[in-house]
Amino acid sequence: MPSLGADMEEGTLIEWLIAPGATVARGDIVAVVETQKGAIEIEIFEPGEVVSLIAQPGQTLPVGAPLATLRKPGEGVEDAPEPEPEPVAEAVATPEAAPEPAAPVKRPMQEPAPVTGGAAASGPLASPAAKARAAEAGIDLARVSGSGPGGAVLLADVEASLAAAPKQARQPDTPATRPAPKGKPGLDMAEMRRAIAAAMSRAKREIPHYYLSHRIDLQAAQDWLSARNAERPPDERLLMGALLIRATVRALAKVPELNGRHEGADYTPSDTINCGMAVAMRGGGLIAPAIMDAQDKGLDAIMEAMRDLVARTRAGRLRNSEVTQGTLTVSSLGESGVDALFGVIYPPQVALVGFGSPRTEPVVQRGNLAARLCVTATLAADHRVSDGRRGATFLAEIDRLLQEPETL
């Protein structure tokens, strides 16, 4: 069970997206875990072959408990267990296995009987994912022919069976057999509030924040944006938020020390920019998933990534890298907020850029008063890593970039 935030203690496995015997590559999405931040898609960070799945969908496990065993490429196969659902006791006998995975496990009331002693005590051999899918679809596993080792029914077999007989009579599912609904946020607001409280308390305890504020004339950016969007269908239109993020990411080239992570006693600047974007949830709370490798994304690609992240945040389908690997966060109030926001840095990051709501304001331009769209940009930054002068250079660079929107 990976840690998806410093404050996370446990997570609930919702489903497996792999089966024993599958070959996985670094970055593949292998499972979905329910956390305080909603359902998170878990990517794997080691390539290899899946030997066995230890955790069952529905199980709640502490951080560090093994979910599955993986054989690395080139690793000996002599004593590897057969790729079939394995008893927990054997499967955890790997070097990196965390202690006592079985003890703290909470099980739902009617969890399928755990397989013990390597023998299928009840029902046909089947992977956990296949069992979960079959339970969800209300089909009998005994009627599905298995293509896995020892005739085990795999997820693909269940899917094939469903595809072949889409009108097959389905048993009405009961709350006990139905896994957590998919695609629903499933957010527990009290839990989310607790997670925010933990992260923000840590930030205020450990990070010596300093704050800067700067008013930026956005009229040039707005004029450019309006002209550009007028020629495009809604799907290709840009939001001002994309320009603000793009300008922020580019400005980091001038003050790179604001982009990185302060873990333990050490600060490590980051070469890549994983730009967190605060997304407010309508029921309260917020999540700041990251636009990964934002330094390589142009304006349209940033916009596309924002659209995708917001949609997946709302649907509760973020990936673990997106919620844990941010290197800087941007929080933008949008159109109907207040003038400025002074953020709290999201640890272990070292800076947070805030944009208030753009407003038309009186601005003195070449000695004359003009009505211009303006936004107040703020920086909250970690004094262990940077000083006000560098922070000022950064905000001034964002300003400069926004005066030339066509070059963003």
Partner 1 sequence: MTPDAIRTAFLEDLTSVAPDIDPDTVGDDDHLQDDLGLDSMDFLNLVSALHKRFGLPIPEADYPELATTARAVRYLGKAMAG
Question: Rounded to an integer, what is the distance from CA 122 to the centroid of its chain?
Answer: 37
Nearest distance, CB of residue 224 and partner 1, angstroms: 13
Interface residue with partner 1, options 97, 162, 315, 385 (CB under 8 A): 315
Nearest distance, CB of residue 192 and partner 1, angstroms: 13
* 241 makes contact with partner 1 (CB under 8 A): yes
The smaller minimum CB distance to partner 1, of residues 167 and 282, is found at 282
- What is the per-residue binding string for partner 1 in 99-128, x denoting contact by CB under 8 A? ------------------------------
The Cα 273–Cα 15 span in angstroms is 31
* 334 makes contact with partner 1 (CB under 8 A): yes
Identify the CA nearest to 287 among candidates 39, 27, 45, 11: 39
Buried b vs exposed e over 24-38: b needs ≥16 C-beta within 10 Å?
beeeeebbbbbbbbb
* 314 makes contact with partner 1 (CB under 8 A): yes
Interface residue with partner 1, options 74, 76, 226, 367 (CB under 8 A): 226
Contact 276, 323 (CB under 8 A): no
> Is residue 151 left, alpha or beta, with left meaning phi > 0 and alpha meaning psi from -120 to 50?
left
* 230 makes contact with partner 1 (CB under 8 A): yes
The site that binds partner 1 (CB under 8 A) totals a number of residues, namely 26
The smaller minimum CB distance to partner 1, of residues 137 and 310, is found at 310
Interface residue with partner 1, options 33, 203, 240, 247 (CB under 8 A): 240
* 184 makes contact with partner 1 (CB under 8 A): yes
> Is residue 150 left, alpha or beta, with left meaning phi > 0 and alpha meaning psi from -120 to 50?
left
* 235 makes contact with partner 1 (CB under 8 A): yes
* 287 makes contact with partner 1 (CB under 8 A): no
Interface residue with partner 1, options 310, 363, 385, 396 (CB under 8 A): 310
Nearest distance, CB of residue 257 and partner 1, angstroms: 30
Which residue(s) pair with 279 in the sheet? 287
* 357 makes contact with partner 1 (CB under 8 A): no
Interface residue with partner 1, options 306, 352, 353, 380 (CB under 8 A): 306
Contact 222, 240 (CB under 8 A): yes
* 185 makes contact with partner 1 (CB under 8 A): yes
The smaller minimum CB distance to partner 1, of residues 26 and 184, is found at 184
Residue span binding partner 1 (CB under 8 A) among the ranges 124-132, 151-159, 222-230, 250-258:
222-230
What residue ranges bind partner 1 (CB under 8 A)? 183-185, 226, 229-230, 233-235, 237, 239-241, 279-280, 282-283, 306-307, 310-311, 314-315, 334-336
